């Protein structure tokens, strides 16, 4: 018996782009374009009419834009949404807002030439299929200014570093965890989020607006220090190494290719954390498809470090955390809203 096709609604203010995207998706026998819409308001009506499995949504549309549609749909009729927008080339803030309000994933529409859109056909089809597996969720609303509080640490920390890895659904999950960490955090944090390279700097700026911690992009020879959150660049695999002269642990990059996910690889980060910090390390795997980070997380646990995975209920995509939990690489499974506080309490000596 053939598998049921995924019904897709395409929303874009360009008639030509609606046709092009529909043609690309219709080439796959597993997808069925049930309708199109020209703005956010029409999208809401078409969702009610066709009840699609996935919405492919542009962001910049006249009057009723993509963010309007995401907010209304996730409140009234939640379903998986893929953002497909040229805003990814210029202004990423609305895309992060859309993810915060419940959109699952994003793709950047090419600036020049419709032929480039056609060249992205396989990537687009695969994205739609992966987004369809998501559990749609409306993320927590955050204040525009950093939330600041101090934790009354009673002594030295039980751990010396925290490594966090995430993929699909990760930006909002990471925001949740980082915003729950205190201003006087006594260990460094390194974050590896599967994300295009040009998204990293705006993502770091966004995190800085939510947290009193110093959040930076990792660079060669940077030394992780308490109170700093280092985010891996999106075009390389960040690892930790020991300096021959100072014996301090510092950031470097490896040319090794990682089959689970490359640039940035969560496994690359976590294996190096396990090597240099051992039982003094903590690893966290958040929402995402696939299994990147699971072997690295297992290495941390085998060295005596503590490991956490996001639970199924709060994960947008219960892929990486599921494998981590079922394979016993993770010692604890937690709701995303509990992870930040749990980390802080776990640091107590």
Q: Are residues 166 and 293 in the same domain?
A: yes
Q: What CATH number is attached to the domain comprising 284?
A: 3.40.50.180
As given in the structure block, the two tokens for residue 333 are: 């499974």
Tell me the pLDDT of the chain averaged across its residues. 94
- What percent of the chain lies above the pLDDT cut of 70? 96
Residue 149 lies in a domain: no
Q: What CATH number is attached to the domain comprising 50?
A: 3.40.50.2300
How far apart are alpha carbons 67 and 73 in whole angstroms?
10
Of the candidates 301, 287, 311, 303, the one whose C-alpha atom is nearest the C-alpha of residue 331 is: 301
Q: Are residues 209 and 75 in the same domain?
A: no
Please confirm whether the linkage preceding 257 is cis (ω < 30° from 0). no
pLDDT at position 114 is 66
Residue 89 lies in a domain: yes
Residue 293 lies in a domain: yes
pLDDT at position 116 is 80
Neighbours of 254 (CB within 10 A): 15
Residues 218-244 pLDDT 10s: 999 999 999 999 999 999 999 999 999
Residue 141 lies in a domain: no
As given in the structure block, the two tokens for residue 248 are: 């301090």
pLDDT reading at 140 higher than 80 = no
pLDDT at position 44 is 97
pLDDT at position 2 is 60
pLDDT reading at 142 higher than 60 = no
pLDDT at position 25 is 97
pLDDT reading at 1 higher than 70 = no
How far apart are alpha carbons 75 and 66 in whole angstroms?
14
Lowest mean pLDDT segment, chosen from 60-64, 211-215, 334-338: 60-64
Q: Are residues 170 and 285 in the same domain?
A: yes
Residues 186-212 pLDDT 10s: 999 999 999 999 999 999 999 999 999
Residues carrying an active site annotation? 167, 194, 292
Residues 16-71 pLDDT 10s: 999 999 999 999 999 999 999 999 999 999 999 999 999 999 999 988 999 999 99
Neighbours of 123 (CB within 10 A): 10
Q: Are residues 331 and 285 in the same domain?
A: yes
Q: Are residues 175 and 76 in the same domain?
A: no
Total domain count, the chain: 2
Q: How far is CA 309 from the centre of its chain?
A: 14
Answer with the one of 84, 110, 131 that is the final residue of a domain. 131
pLDDT reading at 306 higher than 80 = yes
Q: Are residues 208 and 323 in the same domain?
A: yes
Residue 151 lies in a domain: no
Residue 240 lies in a domain: yes
Q: Are residues 239 and 312 in the same domain?
A: yes
Answer with the one of 80, 113, 131 that is the final residue of a domain. 131
Q: Are residues 214 and 327 in the same domain?
A: yes
Q: Are residues 103 and 237 in the same domain?
A: no
Cβ-Cβ contacts under 8 Å for 173 (sequence gap 6 or more): 166, 286, 287, 310, 314, 315, 316, 336
pLDDT reading at 75 higher than 90 = yes
Residues 104-138 pLDDT 10s: 999 998 876 567 888 899 999 999 999 999 998 87
**How open is the CA angle 318-324-328, to the nearest 5 degrees?**
140
Task: Classify burial at 117, counting beta carbons within 10 Å of its beta carbon; exposed 0-12, middle 13-18, buried 19 or more.
Answer: middle
Higher pLDDT, 293 or 151: 293
Q: Are residues 169 and 117 in the same domain?
A: no
Residue 147 lies in a domain: no
User: Containing domain of residue 275, as a range?
Assistant: 161-347
Q: Are residues 175 and 260 in the same domain?
A: yes
Residue 144 lies in a domain: no
Residues 147-197 pLDDT 10s: 678 888 888 899 999 999 999 999 999 999 999 999 999 999 999 999 999
pLDDT at position 342 is 97
Read off the pLDDT of each residue in 212-220 and give the average, rounded to a whole number: 97
pLDDT at position 222 is 98
Read off the pLDDT of each residue in 73-93 and give the average, rounded to a whole number: 91
Q: Are residues 30 and 117 in the same domain?
A: yes
């Amino acid at each position: 018996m053939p598998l049921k096709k995924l019904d897709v609604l395409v929303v874009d203010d360009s008639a030509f782009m609606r046709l092009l995207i529909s043609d690309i998706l219709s080439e796959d026998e597993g997808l069925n374009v049930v309708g199109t819409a020209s703005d956010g308001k029409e999208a809401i009506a078409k969702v009610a009419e066709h009840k699609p499995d996935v919405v492919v949504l542009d962001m910049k549309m006249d009057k009723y834009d993509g963010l309007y549609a995401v907010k209304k749909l996730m409140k009234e009729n939640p379903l998986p949404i893929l953002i497909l927008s040229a805003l990814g080339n210029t202004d990423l803030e609305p895309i992060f807002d859309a993810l915060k309000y419940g959109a699952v994933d994003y793709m950047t529409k090419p600036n020049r030439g419709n032929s480039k859109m056609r060249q992205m056909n396989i990537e687009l089809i695969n994205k739609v299929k992966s987004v369809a597996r998501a559990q749609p969720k409306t993320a927590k609303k955050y204040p525009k200014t950093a939330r600041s509080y101090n934790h009354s640490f009673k002594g030295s920390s039980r751990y010396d570093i925290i490594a966090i890895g995430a993929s699909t659904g990760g930006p909002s999950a990471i925001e949740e965890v980082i915003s729950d960490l205190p201003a006087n955090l006594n260990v460094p944090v390194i974050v590896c989020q599967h994300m295009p390279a040009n998204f990293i700097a705006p993502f770091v700026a966004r995190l800085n607006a939510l947290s009193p911690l110093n959040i930076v992009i990792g660079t060669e020879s940077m030394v992780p220090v308490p109170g700093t959150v280092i985010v891996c660049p999106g075009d390389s695999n960040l690892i930790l190494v020991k300096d021959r002269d100072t014996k301090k642990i510092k950031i470097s990059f490896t040319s090794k290719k990682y089959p689970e996910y490359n640039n940035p690889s969560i496994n690359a980060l976590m294996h190096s954390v396990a090597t240099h910090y051992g039982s003094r390390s903590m690893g966290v795997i958040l929402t995402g498809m696939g299994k990147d980070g699971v072997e690295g997380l297992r290495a941390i646990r085998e060295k005596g470090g503590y490991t956490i995975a996001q639970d199924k209920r709060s994960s947008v995509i219960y892929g990486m955390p599921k494998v981590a939990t079922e394979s016993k690489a993770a010692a604890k499974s937690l709701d995303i809203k509990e992870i930040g506080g749990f980390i802080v309490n776990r640091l107590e000596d």
